[in-house]
A and B are shown apart, each in its own frame.
Chain A
Amino acid sequence: MNLDFSDDQKQLQDQIRRFLSEKCTPAVVRSGLEGGEPFARDLYRGLAEMGVLGVAIPEAYGGVGLSHLELCLAAEELGRALAPVPVASSIYLAAEFLLQAGSEAQKKAWLPRLASGESIGTFAFVEGQGRMTPDKVAAAVRDGRLSGAKSPVPDGDIADLAIVAARSGAGRGEQAISLFLVDLNGPGVTRETLASIDPTRSQARLAFEGAPAERLGGEGEGWAIASQVMDRAAILMAFEQVGGADRALSMARDYALDRMAFGRQIGSFQAIKHMLADMYVSATLARSNCYYGAWALASGSSELPVAAATARVSATQAFQHCAKNNIQVHGGMGFTWAFDCHLFYRRSNALALALGSLSTWEDLLITRLQGANTQAA
């Protein structure tokens, strides 16, 4: 048994961590929050040059051709650094959709551009409040033209390419949904940036009026493909969340060592110490569940849907737990704009909703465990 990453993989992770700690400073993270660019262009270019964006994309499509294990570790570092870049939208989702369901021509057209950072992709899925169901999809494609609206779309304001879930053909329920590639710089697309809880990862509303749309994957297979790709993205996102949780915990720990009150380090008080111990426990459980997810992702195991939901639920809670208690340990200073605690708090709550809410993933986990149970019986 070997539930760990290899030394080479850890070395790569170290390189990415060093790069991010130098280039992804608090000022860079805060830029989007304080009215600057919607994402850190230079940082994104740097990540592309380092091979981070293309790490799991085959060389034939302009990537580095390593595995999803390396991408998991890259995700952890992006989460730790709160990197304000559209890697989740463009790589965990758009590139993964192309890899899983794209035609050879579609892969050749888009993957090299996503890997080089020249183009940004995203997944335009949600329409309105609540859990997405096939019935809620109103966006529709007729004769290769997409009409409708998607909101919120992560990084929709900066993306060049969207994979859009839309209604087409005569199928019902899930079978009514197909996926389409839409060039967001083409005709029939209007975008509107939305204010959000975490402006370091922007969100937009996309409106389509007869935008040219090219099908990705089979007719009526959109829902099934999306569910598969979202599982894969959930594992990568969980690594981001674990990276964020780990950093929030270490910030809190450092502050508890540094800050004196009542004549002693506050970390010597059990009320603080036990809070930190509990943060460590949830971050550790989440990390272990993520390793299970990484194994499932890299090995193509049939356990992937269970592993994805497990990692996702666990990591969502761990990041929220660590980020909120990081503020608590910092006391009043933690609630100031100047301290970075709120950046983690914002990101933890934004990531908790990306790809569907906690309660959605809890429900998916139980559905899948029921399925596994039936298979075993």
Chain B
Amino acid sequence: MDFDDTPEEAAFRAEARDWIQANAPTHLEAELKRAGFASSGIESEDPMAASKAWQKKKAEAGWACLNWPKEYGGGARTPIERVIWGQEEGIYGSLSSPFIIGHGMCGPTVMAWASEDHKRRLLPPLASGEEIWCQLFSEPAGGSDLAGLRTSAVKADDGSGDWIINGQKIWTSGAQHSQWGLLITRTNPDAPKHKGLTMFFLSMSSPGVEVRPIKQANGQSGFNEVYFTDVRIPDDQRLGAVGQGWEVSLTTLMNERLSIGSGMSTGFPELFDFCLQAEVDGRPAVDDASVRSRLAQFAVKQSGLKYTGMRAITALSKGETPGPENSIGKLVAGATMQELAMFALDIQGQSGAIQDESSPMNARFQQMLLRSPATRIEGGSDEILRNIIGERVLGLPGDIRVDKDVAFRDIPTSGRK
């Protein structure tokens, strides 16, 4: 039991560290450290340009998408080397956030299901950040119940073999920046709902695609609605067979939970610093017994997540695949962050409500508080994650489904009971 690198890992770490020291955009370090929950922190230049520049540099030197094969723009490294790279890249890793969905979810799906020609055309510019991808899955009627989606794909009647798409997607991160989208559609409303789905990829500049930003509850706009009006997609942009879309989507969703769940912050280090500094009744908040008790609760959650992550890394380094037990990362981090932010405001009494430039720490906790409800919903809500743990880890039976083996068009919906 140790936290040491093997000689091979140490050599890789040294190589990565040297390259990062020589090449990272160090002029952005201070700004990146100020990053909030909704912004990259970069103000001195265009944040997207900064992200693309760093990604391109990494790709040219073989440090992008480390676990992908080289012919698709990756680094052909082991999963554990990817983890080490992440540790060494540190704060500069946040520059890659516009590419997370493409690299973590769309890319692996394309790799598993697209033709060789498409893989060679699409994956290298995705790895290098020249092209951005978004994931067009959730709909107003299909969130947790993703397979309830209604966006339709119908064969064109002109003999071209093309598909005509109509419908609406929602909660699409980064759609406004994306060149490509991974799109799941309903091709057969007469089949049971999981069986009538088909997956495509499409150019986001296709005629009939309209992206509208959503103003979120926290005032930011990270997500979008995407509307499709008679959008045409060639049949060779289909991933998997017609009707196999659900199976294809599982490739994406498995990767989603892995990439979202790993290494999430709960905000504990910030809260601890705050409690050392903030004064309550003339003494540091940390001296108060009730504050200490709550801090300890948050500390053991943060620590438990950290060492659960390290156990997953240990499994990776032994060649094992991290399983559904890693669903606990986001489940714990999301709820903890929300409680922690509430507590940080509570310590300040009535002043906690005030948005005051003179208290950057409080501004951060307020951002955390306002953003955390989304963390508990996106990428698998708390409830879905508990179902996954219950069913896939503990082996409990699935819920009894009233929509099973019923034609999709006959399933009751909110507007049609």
Task: Indicate whether B38 reaches chain A with its CB closer than 8 angstroms.
Answer: no
B: contact size bracket: 35 or more
A363 to B296, CA, bound (A): 7
Q: Are B383 and A274 in contact (CB under 8 A)?
A: yes
B376-402 vs A: 1/0 string, CB under 8 Å? 000000010111011101111111100
Q: Which residues of chain B come closer than 8 Å to A292, judged between CB atoms?
A: 303, 307
Task: Indicate whether A132 reaches chain B with its CB closer than 8 angstroms.
Answer: no
Q: Are A3 and B3 in contact (CB under 8 A)?
A: yes
Closest partner residue, chain A, to B9 (CB atom): A1
In chain B, positions 334-392 with a C-beta closer than 8 Å to chain A are 383, 385-387, 389-391
Q: Are A362 and B396 in contact (CB under 8 A)?
A: no
A244-261 vs B: 1/0 string, CB under 8 Å? 000000000100110000
- The answer to whether residues A268 and B397 also contact, given A1-B313, A285-B332, A289-B303 and a CB cut-off of 8 A, is yes
In chain B, positions 280-303 with a C-beta closer than 8 Å to chain A are 286, 289, 292-293, 295-297, 299-301, 303
Task: Indicate whether A314 reaches chain B with its CB closer than 8 angstroms.
Answer: yes
Task: Indicate whether A43 reaches chain B with its CB closer than 8 angstroms.
Answer: no
Q: Are B272 and A268 in contact (CB under 8 A)?
A: no
Q: Are A278 and B386 in contact (CB under 8 A)?
A: yes
Q: Which residues of chain A come closer than 8 Å to B303, judged between CB atoms?
A: 288-289, 292, 310, 314
A284 to B325, CA, bound (A): 9
Q: Are A363 and B289 in contact (CB under 8 A)?
A: yes
Closest partner residue, chain A, to B332 (CB atom): A281
- The answer to whether residues A280 and B396 also contact, given A292-B307, A313-B296, A363-B296 and a CB cut-off of 8 A, is no
Closest partner residue, chain B, to A5 (CB atom): B1
Task: Indicate whether B158 reaches chain A with its CB closer than 8 angstroms.
Answer: no
Q: Are A1 and B314 in contact (CB under 8 A)?
A: yes
A264 to B383, CA, bound (A): 21
Choose one: B272, B296, B304, B311; the contact of A3 (CB below 8 Å).
Answer: B311
A57-97 vs B: 1/0 string, CB under 8 Å? 00000000000010000000000000000000000000000
Q: Are B394 and A277 in contact (CB under 8 A)?
A: yes
Report the interface size for chain A: residues with CB under 8 A from the other chain.
49
Q: Which residues of chain A come closer than 8 Å to B244, judged between CB atoms?
A: none
Closest partner residue, chain B, to A265 (CB atom): B397
Q: Are B398 and A268 in contact (CB under 8 A)?
A: yes
Q: Are A257 and B395 in contact (CB under 8 A)?
A: yes
Task: Indicate whether B4 reaches chain A with its CB closer than 8 angstroms.
Answer: yes
From residue A376, how far is it (CB to closest CB) to chain B in Å?
11
Question: Which one of A135-143, A151-159, A220-228, A294-302 is at the interface?
Answer: A294-302
Closest partner residue, chain B, to A278 (CB atom): B386
From residue B364, how far is it (CB to closest CB) to chain A in Å?
19
Q: Which residues of chain A come closer than 8 Å to B296, judged between CB atoms?
A: 309, 313, 361-363, 365-366
Task: Indicate whether B276 reaches chain A with its CB closer than 8 angstroms.
Answer: yes
Q: Are A257 and B304 in contact (CB under 8 A)?
A: no
Q: Which residues of chain B come closer than 8 Å to A291, judged between CB atoms?
A: 1, 307, 311
Choose one: B2, B295, B387; the contact of A2 (CB below 8 Å).
Answer: B2
- The answer to whether residues A295 and B3 also contact, given A253-B395, A277-B389, A289-B300 and a CB cut-off of 8 A, is yes
Q: Are A280 and B289 in contact (CB under 8 A)?
A: no
Q: Which residues of chain B come closer than 8 Å to A276, judged between CB atoms?
A: 390, 394, 396
- The answer to whether residues A4 and B295 also contact, given A274-B386, A285-B304, A370-B276 and a CB cut-off of 8 A, is no
Q: Are A284 and B390 in contact (CB under 8 A)?
A: no
Q: Are A257 and B396 in contact (CB under 8 A)?
A: yes
A306 to B333, CA, bound (A): 21
From residue B306, how far is it (CB to closest CB) to chain A in Å?
8
Choose one: A1, A288, A317, A370; the contact of B308 (CB below 8 Å).
Answer: A288
Pairs A–B under 8 Å by Cβ, sample size 6: A1-B2, A269-B399, A277-B390, A285-B308, A314-B304, A362-B292
Interface residues of A, Cβ cutoff 8 Å to B: 1-6, 69, 253, 256-257, 264-265, 267-270, 272-274, 276-278, 280-281, 284-286, 288-289, 291-292, 294-295, 298-299, 309-310, 313-314, 317, 359, 361-363, 365-366, 369-370, 373
9 interchain residue pairs of minimum CB distance = A285-B304, A362-B296, A273-B390, A288-B307, A277-B386, A267-B396, A277-B389, A314-B300, A288-B308
